[in-house]
Amino acid sequence: MRLLILGTGNMAGNHAAAFGKNPEVEIVAGVDRRPEMLAGFCDKYAIPHRFEDLEDAIAWGEFDAVSNVTPDAAHHPTTLQLLHAGKHVLCEKPLATNVADAAEMTALAGDKGVVGMVNLSYRDVAVLQKAAQLVAAGEIGALRHFEASYLQSWLTQPAWGDWRTQSQWLWRLSREHGSKGVLGDVGIHILDFATFAAQSPVRELSCRLKTFDKAEGNRIGDYPLDANDSFTMQAELENGALGTITATRFASGHLNDLRLRLYGDKGGLEVLFEKRGESLRICRGADLTEARWQEVAAEPVPTVYERFADAILAKAGPEPDFAHGARLQAALDTAELSDAKNGQFLKVDF
């Protein structure tokens, strides 16, 4: 499989390193409008062909698949070009910035008969995959309640860099610069984390978004700091379970942690991904009366990069595919609308 990497920013390095380990993948080209970034990236990963325009790369055409690592707003137009050219695409999350664009991408991938997948990287967490298997097997019975949270703290500490003095972070805090805040940035991850383990999409939700004062006049230079920093959501899933989904960049004491608790009528599960460590616990059967929790082992799972290559080579199905990414975008769009309506409960239509 011959792979082109579109966009050579920080996340592109993860794609190049991961695909570079796969003997069935050859990274043949890179594309970026910034010539210095492009040259440095291609030199680092020994990528032979370089293009500053996607149109030139498509005209060249000597590739089978693409990792689309462009900024969020570019996902839709660039992916459409690639799909029209008959190329398989692994697109960074979110699939698009609105459900209409995401649905168009999904339909076109189907029409062209190509693999379209979205990079929801926490699908690579082994305990999440194991939890989904346990739920699907009925090990905790019918799901009734859940709690999911994504906890970051980069607005309260400089572990990843100081956003007050390093401008590369500021776009994430500014709607004018394309950010949809913590909801759009990591909300999609915790939505996927919860609904994948629960084996059911969101049917209805209520959401409130909050933007905190972070600088004088809520602005730093050219960046108005108006994107949301925290959200809380109540959600009812298609399977009837009710629960909460939250995320914040003000979770002091947590660098990048995901937590999920699932409660059924026959047992409960606790899924933790904290400090890059994973754990899974279950309470069921005779343990329920004493509230005893048992650790559950989980074997490593293929990464999304491996699954993308396998899907193209017809070794596995494309999961998570564009249709799933579009369903998540429908939930995100509904969350924004709910907040605009003061937290009104709304149906998620897709």
pLDDT along the chain (350 residues), means of 10: 95 96 97 96 98 98 97 94 98 95 98 97 97 98 98 94 89 91 95 98 98 95 96 98 98 97 98 96 98 97 96 91 97 98 96
45 lies in the same domain as 147: no
Residue 309 located in a structural domain:
no
Instruction: Supply the pLDDT for residue 111.
Output: 97
CATH number at residue 326: 3.30.360.10
Among candidate residues 214, 178, 207, 176, the one with its CA nearest the CA of residue 191: 207
CA 308, 18, 6, 118 torsion-angle sign:
positive
Helix H, strand E, coil C: the string for 204-258 is EEEEEEECCCCCHHHEECCEECCCCCEEEEEEEECCCCEEEEEEECCCCCCCEEE
Backbone angles phi, psi at 76, to 5 degrees: -65, -55
Instruction: Supply the pLDDT for residue 51.
Output: 98
Instruction: Supply the pLDDT for residue 298.
Output: 97
Instruction: Supply the pLDDT for residue 349.
Output: 93
> Which domain does 228 fall in, by range?
124-301+322-347
Instruction: Supply the pLDDT for residue 178.
Output: 84
Instruction: Supply the pLDDT for residue 317.
Output: 86
What pTM did the predictor assign?
0.94
What total of structural domains would you count in the chain? 2
225 lies in the same domain as 279: yes
